[in-house]
Structure 1
């Protein structure tokens, strides 16, 4: 499959414009990570490192097994990555703090006859079949929280009945949404952070339109469309966000 990608920091970030998203691709895999930005109100994360640092470390730990064609399930690869990152800063940071830096994860791995996917938190994987049928693999548990206050999010992060993210708890990997799809049933795959999937999830465009924009005009064009909506939006919540897309297309 041809692989195209873009990752762009939110345009309202003050210099230096640190992008807390990360895209990593290889010959037979792709992943996107979306670090959870720190709240505007000060929260003691117990960690001396930034969200961007966590995202980079997770990607680094995932890169080797993916590039060396590990046969382990994606859940195991993610659990091992979280364990390694946790160990790397356990001596300097309180890795038991529920407000430790965290990230979403979306991964796909291509095989001769099937495609694996893994989705943890709100970075969906969207697939289109040759007949045009679109399937969305998503994890909406954060949207099901009773509210989004700091206290509720802290209490239910990486907890049964709450939501799961990649942070300091390896067991979160086994709570991810996973599955396989016949390779013959897939002609395009999009991995998106929520700064890009908001084209559909926030602004109401159908998923099939999102895939059409990606496959005919490319990832940059999708982000440009999102930014126009962002600039004109009067909706509550974050006006701009880091936005990342990976498009895999073709046989």
Structure 2
């Protein structure tokens, strides 16, 4: 079972933080809202933080109920609940409708289950000291390479051959990367938004070193390492600083 969750989260700029962490005794949810591109009409009366809050609440309610449904079923139902909450006021068919990445981890029956949808990785710390990385890199494999145009992202979001996120289409939940591991084989699990994954993707850290920092100095130190490198070396692409969230869930006997 999880015996402790610790986390840190920081906004990337003067804008409100669009990441969200919610945890219960046996599960954790991390969401990363997708900041809308300037001038894009989402067709929605609500901002990304509204979507993240509603989706997070729906996920927490279902996970706390503890019915043991597969994580893809849990996410699918939560997307349906969230879409229903604004179906009467918003154009849910708009491809630029507010969206979020999702990372779910649950410990049940001696197994650690995970679901990753979008670029918020789960990294499992093994009892032997290694890292098992669960990631969804489809956003990084769009045709043409970065920088992506707004039109390309619009066309490839939640589409076959593109990338998938939680927005208004419940079937996106079936596109998540899922699996499970024997809890006895793990020390714990790290969950991150892509603002922290920059350490590995851009700045040469290994996931082993991220986990060591996470367990040794804590989630806040991991985010501080990102900020120091961003300041010293700048971004590889996109915004200089992104919202950044790091979670450590320690496993053990209660």
Q: Is the shorter-chain TM-score for this pair beyond 0.5, marking a shared fold?
A: yes
Is 1:246–2:236 an aligned residue pair? no
Distance 1:221 1:139 in 2: 25
Cα-Cα RMSD:
1.0
Distance 1:236 1:82 in 2: 30
In the alignment, what sits opposite 1:230?
A: 230
Q: 1:38 aligns with which of 28, 36, 39?
A: 36
Distance 1:196 1:236 in 2: 14
Is 1:111–2:112 an aligned residue pair? no
Is 1:51–2:48 an aligned residue pair? yes
The alpha-carbon deviation at position 237 of structure 1 amounts to 2.0
Distance 2:7 2:101 in 1: 17
Distance 2:233 2:67 in 1: 44
Q: Map of 1:71-150 to 2, 5 A cutoff?
A: 71-147=68-144, 148-150=148-150
The alpha-carbon deviation at position 105 of structure 1 amounts to 0.1
Gaps of 5+ in 1: none
The alpha-carbon deviation at position 112 of structure 1 amounts to 3.5
Distance 2:222 2:214 in 1: 6
Out of 145-154 and 18-27, give the one that drifted further: 145-154
The alpha-carbon deviation at position 136 of structure 1 amounts to 0.3
Distance 1:246 1:236 in 2: 24
Distance 1:22 1:128 in 2: 22
The alpha-carbon deviation at position 186 of structure 1 amounts to 1.0
- TM-score, normalising length: structure 2: 0.94
Q: Is the 8 A contact 1:233 1:239 kept in 2?
A: no
Q: Is the 8 A contact 1:108 1:115 kept in 2?
A: yes
Residues 83-132 of structure 1 deviation map (CA, whole Å, 9 limit, x = unaligned): 11111111110000000000000000011311000000000000111111
The alpha-carbon deviation at position 197 of structure 1 amounts to 1.4
Distance 2:175 2:214 in 1: 29
In the alignment, what sits opposite 1:176?
A: 176
The alpha-carbon deviation at position 68 of structure 1 amounts to 1.7
Residues 105-164 of structure 1 deviation map (CA, whole Å, 9 limit, x = unaligned): 000001131100000000000011111121100000010001421111111110111110
- TM-score, normalising length: structure 1: 0.96
Distance 2:237 2:181 in 1: 36
Q: Is the 8 A contact 1:33 1:103 kept in 2?
A: yes
Q: How many residues align?
A: 246
Q: Map of 1:63-78 to 2, 5 A cutoff?
A: 63-78=60-75
Residues 189-237 of structure 1 deviation map (CA, whole Å, 9 limit, x = unaligned): 0000001111111211011000000001000010111111111223332
